[in-house]
Amino acid sequence: MPKILAYVWFDIEDYVTRESHDLPLKAFEILKKHNVPVTCKIVAEKVRALVENGRNDVISAISEHDVGYHLDAHSRHPTLYEYLAEFDVPSGAKEFLTRESDGLAYVKQTFGRTPSCFGHPGPTWSPHVYPALPEMGIPVYLDDTPILNLNNQPYWYCGILNLNGANQNFIVFDYTFQDPNGIKVLKQKFKRIHDRLRTEGGAVSLLFHLHTAINRKFWDEVNFGNGQNRNRDEYQRPQPQPAEITERAWKNFDELIGYMSSFDDVGFITASDAAKIYGHPAKANLDRDELRKVAAHFRASSDYFTQDGIVLSPSEAFYAVAASLSEYATSGKLPERVEFKEPLGPMTTFRSKGKKTVLTKDLLESAKRAADFADAEKFLPTDIQVGPEADLSPHDFLATASKLLHIVLSGKSLPDRINLSKSKPPHLRYISAARFRDACNWKVLPRRFKAPRILEQITLQAWTLKPAQPTPGSE
């Protein structure tokens, strides 16, 4: 497998501009010339527009490539952030499924298969959609967001593979061609990315909104800006690009794809390929030696665990530790191997309160309740009551429970009481509140739009965050 994996993706979404219907055909000619695959995330309303305009040639051409889902109507209000603003993740997932079922069904019917991926409109990335994706049959989240960054590389979040957050390894082709020196800048950027990744390897993301080749502004900003809707008979085409700019766009795209594909250590993949390459770690249980390493790690950290081929999110570790102590509380013995699951993170924030020490027997009992809660609800508890003396946040509980599990694994006699340990929430290094606020300033959203609960849900689901690593032998 090449050291560097590049994924090219188009958001095919402009259902306002009839002239945009031809654009995929031109783009596909260039990609075919260089033998480069692409993932086409498409809006259902765009597919309807293609059908209504008799563009079966375009639909047929798109169907030869990897097809992803990009919402029913993209920017028509209420948009994703608007209708998810007050939901927690499970409730938001149900709302998302309800609103998107028709659009998804139409795309599936038109292309004869389930889309390979999903991505958000504009900058409005949210965790609420993730629990819905398995029900939709969609295995990959493909987009980009600066709100979350895990080393600029693919990651797992809420149990879904993410090509979403390449950040330093993200190249946006849109409008670069308006500058005569744009192609030079793009090639220099790719070379810098390549040189940074050529030793350890990694992934590079290249996005092209095809309509920018012919439109000077985004179609949705013109028609749905500032929270306003238009009827179909009121749609306005954005100001067209001058012919020389459109010509330069295609010339530069050809040159950039040719340049990227000229590197021997660069290979191109689609979202479907990524689902095979970055297979979810198959391990579903830990032996006692592995459990000992996990407990040692989470005594001092709430960050993900990766060692000796094991990759665990904090949520998976929470469940493994709680389930192990639950078995010990019931039988007086640890299991030889502990099966673990990955619940979602908690739904609300909580700060620990109470005394600084608790009875060991109360901590064991609370571990059993925590594991049972995660089994039943499929997400972590907001707080874990430990006897009458303390009420712990999930991260403080994990640190304290890991300390107790370490004692059990050592074979030492258990103390009557155990000092509580403090830890930090797992999101602090990876989530940017400032970038979320920037997303809320998307020109399509109503002015002064705010959605603090979405940010809260984003940070809480960092419990499920862990890096995605290529599976040995994958191609």
Q: Is the peptide bond between 452 and the residue preceding it cis, with omega within 30 degrees of 0?
A: no
Site of tokens 């995330």: 41
For tokens 């940070």, the residue is 459
Per the structure block, which two tokens stand in for 343?
Answer: 């619940």
Cα 195 to Cα 165, 182, 198, 250, 327, distances in angstroms = 19, 20, 5, 26, 50
Separation of alpha carbons 350 and 210, rounded Å: 45
How far lies 88's CA from each of 114, 232, 348, 430, 431, in Å? 27, 33, 8, 20, 18
- CB of 161 closer than 8 Å to CB of 139: yes
- The CATH code of domain 4-279+431-467 reads 3.20.20.370
User: Where do the structural domains in the chain lie, given as residue ranges?
Assistant: 4-279+431-467, 285-419
pLDDT by residue, tens only, the chain of 475 residues: 789 999 999 999 999 999 999 999 999 999 999 999 999 999 999 999 999 999 999 999 999 999 999 999 999 999 999 999 999 999 999 999 999 999 999 999 999 999 999 999 999 999 999 999 999 999 999 999 999 999 999 999 999 999 999 999 999 999 999 999 999 999 999 999 999 999 999 999 999 999 999 999 999 999 999 999 999 999 999 999 999 999 999 999 999 999 999 999 999 999 999 999 998 766 678 999 999 999 999 999 999 999 988 999 999 999 999 999 999 999 999 999 998 899 999 999 999 999 999 999 999 999 999 999 999 999 999 999 999 999 999 999 999 999 999 999 999 899 999 999 999 999 888 999 999 999 999 999 999 999 999 999 999 999 999 999 888 665 5
- Per the structure block, which two tokens stand in for 319? 């469940």
Question: How would DSSP label each residue in 216-269?
Answer: SS-HHHHHHGGG----GGG--PPPBPPHHHHHHHHHHHHHHHHHHTT-TTEEEE
